[in-house]
Amino acid sequence: MSVQSAFQDEAARIEDVLGQIRRQLLAIGPRYTGDDFTEQMLQLQREQRQQRLEVAEREPYFGRIDFQELATPQPKPLYIGKAGVAHESSKELLVVDWRAPVASLFYAFSGGEAPITYESPEGEIEGTIHLKRNLMVRGGVLERVVDSYIRGEKDESVTDEFLLYRLGENKDNRLRDIVSTIQQEQDRIIRTEKNKTVFIQGVAGSGKTTVALHRLAYLLYRYADRIRAERMVIFAPNRMFLDYISGVLPELGVGDILQTTYNEWAIERLQRSVRLDDSSDSMAYWFEQPRTREEMEQASGRIKGSTAFKEAVDRRLQELESTLLPEQPFEPIPGMTLQPSAIQDWLLIEDSYEPFMKRRERLVNRIKRWLESEWKARRINDRPLKSKANARLNAYCKKIPSFTASQLYSEMLSGADAAELIPAKSRAATVKALKKNLAEPEDLAPLVYIQLRLYGLDQPVYDHVVIDEAQDYSPFQLEGLRLCQLHSSMTILGDLQQGIHRYAGIVNWTELTEVFDAQEQDYYELDRSYRSTMEIIEFANRVLGSMGDGVKPAVPVFRSGEEVEISVFDQEEERLAEAVRTVLDWQSQGSYRTIAVLARTAIACSVLAARFAEEGVEASLIQSKQEAYGGGLTIVPAYLAKGLEFDAVLIADADAASFGDNDGKLLYVACTRALHKLKLLSCGPLTNLLNAELCN
Ligand SMILES: Nc1ncnc2c1ncn2[C@@H]1O[C@H](COP(=O)(O)OP(=O)(O)OP(=O)(O)O)[C@@H](O)[C@H]1O
C-alpha cells in the first residue's frame, strides 16, 4: 500500500471514530442533581465515562499495531489511545486503552519477525507483528503517519522518528504525559505488578518522574477493583515541583491522588502537635555557604535518619512494651484484688500488633470493667467506698506509662542509647525546641515513626506510595511509610548522581533497599536521557566525570543541537551585562518558551533579579517556599531547580568562587535542566569542575 493511500485510509478512520466519540458524548445526557444515592453513583460513572471520551476526542489514538495471534488467519489492527473506546452498538473495540495488556505489544516490540507474547488475563498470548505505526492527530485532524515497522518490507530495528520529534518540541510550565512514546525500558517499570517495591535509579532526564506518574495510572486501571486513587500518595520535594507535575495525572484520566511533601505529610500525621522551626532554613544553611563533604556526611540529619538510630528507637519502644503489664496488684478496697497475672492473661489474648497506646487504652477500660463487675458480684453500692476506689483506680492506671510521640522522643534523646549516636549539643537543642512544639525536618521521621508505633495510623492504609527524589530520603523515613501500608507497594525513584542533599539523604541505594524484604522488591536502572540534546548530555557527563570514579554517564538519545557555550569575564559588571544580553537574545529569537537563569545561591539570584529588573526584563525569582511555577523567564538557585526543566538554561556563575570542588553534583543538576540550549558564564576563573578540555 502506498504511503499516500495509507494516510487517506487512516484519515477516514479517524473521522469515523471521532463521529462515534461525539455521538457517545451527546448521548450521555444531562447531569443528575437529585438526592437518590443510586442515581448519584450512576452519575459518577457517567462523569468518568464523559472524561474518558473527552480525552479521546482530543486525540483518539496515537498508535496502531497489527497483531496476528497464533492459529488465526489474519493480523488484526489494534489502535492504541489514552482511553479505550468501544463501538456504540457492536461494542467492538475501536481504541484500546494504552494500559490494556495487549497494548504492551506496542511498547515492547522492537522489530524483527520473531514471535512475540503478551500476558492476557487468560494467560500468555503469542503471535507476530505485521505493522507498527505512529499517528499524530491534532485538533481532530490526522497530521502525520509514520510506519516504524512493516513485516517483510523492512527488517531493521525500529528507529523512533516520532520520539525525536516529540523531544525536539519546546516545553511549557508543566510536565506532560508520554503515552505515545513510552520506551520499552520505561514500559517494563510502569507495568510491574502492584505488590512490589520498585526502586528506579535513573540518570537526569531519564523520565523517572514521568514513569512513576504513568505507573499510578496503570495500577489504577489494572487493579481497578482493589485499589483506589484516594488511597495513593505522591511525595515530591516541594510545592513548586508538585505544581509542575500537576498536569500529567488529569491528562491520563486520574484524579484524587494525594500529592504532598514529606514534611507536610509528617506534620499532619503528628496531628499538628509540632511545627517546623521557621527560623532555621536548612536549605539556606547547606547551600548559601560552601560546606565540606565531611560536614554533610556527619550531619545530625544523617544520624537521625539512619537505621542505627531507628534501632535505638525500636529498643526504647520494646522497653515500653514490657511496662504495659503493671508490677503491683490492684486493690481498690481491702480484700478485692486484681493480680498482675490476670492482667497478663488479658494481654496475651489481645492482638499484640496493635499500637501501644491503643492497647493501653483497652487495658485501662478492661480494668474499669473488672471493677464494675466486682461491685455487681459483691452487691456493693456504698458511694463513698466506690469513689475512694475510683481514686485508687485512677492512680493505678496513671502508673501505666502514657506518652505523646514528642514526649517519648525527648525522653529518648536524653537517654544513653541516643547519647552514643548524637552529640549532646544537638540533642539538647532538639529537646529544648520540642518543649515549644518546634521541630527540625530531621526530627520528623523519628517522630512520625514513634507516633505510628504508639497510636497507629489515623487514616486508611495506602494502596500505593510514590517517592520522587528518593536519594534525599533516609531509611528512617521509609520505615515510617512502610507502617502506613499492609503490603509494601511503592515506587521509589531518584538519582544518586543528583544527591545534593547529602546531609539528609543516602549515599547508596542499599541504605533504602535494606528496609524491604529482598523478595518484595525490584530494582531498575534507567541510563538513557530523553530531556537534553546530545551536546548538553555529553557536557554534563564530563562535569560528573570530573568528580572521579564511580559515576555512570547518561546515554543521550540521538538528538543533536547547538554546542554548549562558555564565556569568561574579568569584571562582574561584564558578566551581569552578558546575562541580560543572552536572555534578550534568546527571547528575540522566539524559539524558547521557557528560559531559566540559574545561580549557585539565593543571594546570587537576587543580584541577577535586580539587574534584570533595572533593564526592564520581566522575570520571576524563585524562592525556597515558592508554591507555583509559572514558566516564562525564571531566575532560580540551582538547588531549587532540581526536577524542573527549561528549553534554555543560562548558568550565570560557573566560576571557581561559586562552584567549589565539592559542587559537582549541583553543577550536574544545573546543566541537566536544559532541553535545547545551555550557556555558562563566569567572572574570574571557571570552576575546576569544568576542566581545561571544556574551555577549548
Ligand atoms: N519516552 C519518552 N518520550 C518522550 N519524552 C520523554 C520520554 N521519557 C522522558 N521524556 C521526557 O524527558 C523529560 C524528563 O523527564 P522526567 O522529568 O520525568 O525525568 P527525570 O528522570 O525525573 O529527571 P530528573 O531526575 O532530571 O528530574 C521530560 O520532558 C519528559 O517528558
Per-residue pLDDT tens digits for 512-564: 999 999 999 999 999 999 999 999 999 999 998 877 667 788 998 888 999 99
| Claim to verify: residue 444 and residue 538 sit in the same structural domain | no
Q: Which of 141, 159, 177 is the last residue of a domain?
A: 159
- State in Å: Cα 186 to ligand 1 middle: 10
What is d(CA 434, CA 321) in angstroms, rounded to the nearest whole number? 24
Q: What would the DSSP string read from start to end of 294-313?
A: HHHHT-HHHHHTSHHHHHHH
202 lines ligand 1 (CB under 6 A): yes
Question: Is the pLDDT reported for residue 334 higher than 50?
Answer: yes
308 assigned to some structural domain:
no
Contact 251, 58 (CB under 8 A): no
Which residue segment(s) compose the domain that 383 sits in?
A: 324-398
165 assigned to some structural domain:
no
| Claim to verify: residue 471 and residue 540 sit in the same structural domain | no
Atom 23 of ligand 1: nearest residue by CA position: 205
Question: Is the pLDDT reported for residue 696 higher than 50?
Answer: no
Residue 692 has what pLDDT?
52
| Claim to verify: residue 343 and residue 255 sit in the same structural domain | no
- State in Å: Cα 163 to ligand 1 middle: 12
Residue 438 has what pLDDT?
93
CA-nearest of 181, 171, 189, 241 to 532 is 171
List, in sequence order, the alpha helices (H) in 399-440.
Answer: 405-413, 416-421, 424-435
Mean pLDDT for the stretch of residues 60-69: 95
Name the residue with cell 515558592.
626
Question: Is the pLDDT reported for residue 617 higher than 70?
Answer: yes
pLDDT in tens, 376-408: 999 988 889 999 999 999 999 999 999 999 999
Atom 29 of ligand 1: nearest residue by CA position: 531
654 lines ligand 1 (CB under 6 A): no
Mean pLDDT for the stretch of residues 634-643: 92
Question: Is the pLDDT reported for residue 157 higher than 70?
Answer: no
Question: Is the pLDDT reported for residue 112 higher than 90?
Answer: no
Q: Which of 478, 506, 529 is the last residue of a domain?
A: 529
Count of the separate structural domains present in the chain:
4
Q: Which CATH number characterizes residue 605's domain?
A: 3.40.50.300
| Claim to verify: residue 672 and residue 621 sit in the same structural domain | yes
174 assigned to some structural domain:
no
Q: Check whether 204 is labelled as a binding-site residue.
A: yes
Q: Which of 529, 558, 575 is the last residue of a domain?
A: 529
Question: Is the pLDDT reported for residue 629 higher than 60?
Answer: yes
| Claim to verify: residue 546 and residue 661 sit in the same structural domain | yes
Residue 386 makes CB contacts below 8 A (sequence gap 6+) with 375, 380
| Claim to verify: residue 515 and residue 538 sit in the same structural domain | no
Mean pLDDT for the stretch of residues 198-203: 96
505 lines ligand 1 (CB under 6 A): no
ipTM of the complex: 0.99
419, amino acid identity: A
Mean pLDDT for the stretch of residues 681-687: 94
| Claim to verify: residue 683 and residue 539 sit in the same structural domain | yes
Question: Is the pLDDT reported for residue 689 higher than 50?
Answer: yes
Handedness of CA 94, 98, 101, 106 (dihedral sign): positive
Q: What beta strand segments (E) does 154-253 contain? A: 197-202, 232-235
Question: Is the pLDDT reported for residue 156 higher than 60?
Answer: no
Residue 154 has what pLDDT?
61
Q: Check whether 202 is labelled as a binding-site residue.
A: yes
| Claim to verify: residue 521 and residue 539 sit in the same structural domain | no
207 lines ligand 1 (CB under 6 A): yes
CA-nearest of 432, 688, 693, 663 to 539 is 693
98 assigned to some structural domain:
yes
Atom 15 of ligand 1: nearest residue by CA position: 207
Mean pLDDT for the stretch of residues 417-431: 89
What pTM did the predictor assign?
0.91
558 assigned to some structural domain:
yes
Q: Over pLDDT 90: what percentage of the chain?
A: 65
470 lines ligand 1 (CB under 6 A): no
Question: Is the pLDDT reported for residue 351 higher than 80?
Answer: no
14 assigned to some structural domain:
yes
What is d(CA 411, CA 405) in angstroms, rounded to the nearest whole number? 10
Atom 26 of ligand 1: nearest residue by CA position: 204
What is d(CA 551, CA 342) in angstroms, rounded to the nearest whole number? 62
Question: Is the pLDDT reported for residue 442 higher than 60?
Answer: yes
- State in Å: Cα 472 to ligand 1 middle: 19
Q: Check whether 628 is labelled as a binding-site residue.
A: no
Question: Is the pLDDT reported for residue 695 higher than 70?
Answer: no
Distances (CA, A) of 422 to 298, 316, 463, 564, 694: 10, 16, 35, 45, 43
| Claim to verify: residue 243 and residue 355 sit in the same structural domain | no
Of the spans 52-61, 196-205, 493-502, which averages the highest pLDDT?
196-205
Residue 211 has what pLDDT?
97
Which atom of ligand 1 lies nearest, measured to the CA of 530? 12
427 assigned to some structural domain:
no
150 assigned to some structural domain:
yes
Residue 280 has what pLDDT?
57
- State in Å: Cα 530 to ligand 1 middle: 6
Which atom of ligand 1 lies nearest, measured to the CA of 469? 25
What is d(CA 671, CA 656) in angstroms, rounded to the nearest whole number? 16
Residue 366 has what pLDDT?
93
| Claim to verify: residue 121 and residue 29 sit in the same structural domain | yes
Mean pLDDT for the stretch of residues 260-284: 85
Q: Check whether 205 is labelled as a binding-site residue.
A: yes
Question: Is the pLDDT reported for residue 200 higher than 90?
Answer: yes
359 lines ligand 1 (CB under 6 A): no
Handedness of CA 50, 55, 60, 64 (dihedral sign): negative
Of the spans 56-70, 243-257, 487-501, 681-695, which averages the highest pLDDT?
56-70
| Claim to verify: residue 521 and residue 540 sit in the same structural domain | no
672 lines ligand 1 (CB under 6 A): yes
CA-nearest of 563, 543, 562, 569 to 554 is 543
Return the higher-pLDDT residue of 84 and 348.
Answer: 84
| Claim to verify: residue 593 and residue 634 sit in the same structural domain | yes
- What's the mean per-residue pLDDT of the chain? 90
Residue 1 has what pLDDT?
60
